[in-house]
Amino acid sequence: MKEVKAPRSRSYREYLMSSLKDPEEAAGYIGSFLELEEGDEAEYLSSVLKDVIEAHAPINPVLEEVKSRYEKLDKMLSETKGAEIYALVELLDALGFRIAIAPK
């Protein structure tokens, strides 16, 4: 009797990296974290941006510039906890608006 090996399922991380290559998926992923209401939003946002950068690494020819800009933003987020970004999101929400992230 021949042994049958079932294919292994992809890990969530592999799935995430694959889906974030789609600009629409990446935009939705970033946008969903901008809508968080409380907690460690700055840490989450930094992690989300890092995921998107990692997913785009194989397909982005200007990745070094992107990484440099991410590092600068990450430093600001760690210092201010994203207060400016989330204050803007809250103000826009109170006015009946929201920030939408979309591929260009």
Looking at 39-48, 75-84, 90-99, which range is the least confident one?
39-48
Q: What is the pLDDT of residue 99?
A: 85
Cβ-contact 85, 76 below 8 angstroms: no
Q: What is the pLDDT of residue 24?
A: 92
Is the predicted pLDDT of residue 6 greater than 50, yes or no? no
Cβ-contact 41, 33 below 8 angstroms: yes
Q: Is residue 89 part of a domain?
A: yes
Burial, 19: exposed, middle or buried (Cβ in 10 Å; 0-12, 13-18, 19+)? middle
Q: Is residue 46 part of a domain?
A: yes
Q: Is residue 18 part of a domain?
A: yes
Total domain count, the chain: 1
Q: How far is CA 19 from CA 12, 72, 78, in A?
A: 10, 26, 27
The whole-angstrom separation of Cα 32 and Cα 41 is: 11
Q: What is the pLDDT of residue 3?
A: 53
pTM of this structure? 0.73
Q: How far is CA 7 from CA 2, 4, 10, 83, in A?
A: 16, 9, 9, 46
Q: Is residue 7 part of a domain?
A: no
Q: Is residue 5 part of a domain?
A: no
pLDDT in tens, 11-56: 988 899 999 999 999 999 998 888 776 656 667 888 899 999 989 8
Q: What is the pLDDT of residue 9?
A: 62
| Percent of the chain topping pLDDT 70 | 84
Is the predicted pLDDT of residue 2 greater than 60, yes or no? no
Q: Domain range spanning residue 34?
A: 12-94
